[in-house]
């Protein structure tokens, strides 16, 4: 039995079709999820709860660092712009 054919989907961030098994698609899904999350919840998810040592409450900033959060915020803004082009 052969492996299933690769699946592709349109990536707004890449501007082309990408494999749904790729890092590009994983990144697009993460950004789309964050964009769809209500702003207050998104900010807590990104910045975490100040002073918390719990991994879940530290947010992405507490796990990946401030530079990663800055990049995610820029990508959220970018994806929002790309999806709202007329």
Check residue 52 and give its pLDDT.
76
Domain range summary for the chain, segments of one domain joined by +: 8-83
What is the reported pLDDT for 1? 65
Q: Which tens digits make up the pLDDT trace of 5-53? A: 779 999 999 999 999 999 999 999 999 999 999 999 999 999 998 877 7
Task: Please give the pLDDT value at position 32.
Answer: 97
Residues β-bridged to residue 51 = none
Residue 86 has pLDDT above 60, yes or no: no
pLDDT value at position 65? 93
Q: Is the dihedral of CA 33, 39, 76, 54 positive or negative?
A: negative
What pTM did the predictor assign? 0.86
């Amino acid at each position: 039995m052969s492996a299933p054919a690769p699946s592709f989907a349109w990536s707004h961030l890449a501007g082309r079709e990408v494999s749904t098994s790729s890092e590009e698609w994983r990144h697009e899904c993460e950004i789309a999820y964050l964009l769809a999350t209500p702003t207050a919840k998104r900010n807590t998810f990104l910045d975490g709860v100040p002073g918390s040592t719990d991994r879940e409450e530290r947010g992405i900033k507490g796990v990946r660092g401030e530079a990663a959060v800055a990049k995610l915020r820029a990508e959220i803004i970018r994806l929002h712009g790309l999806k709202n082009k007329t």
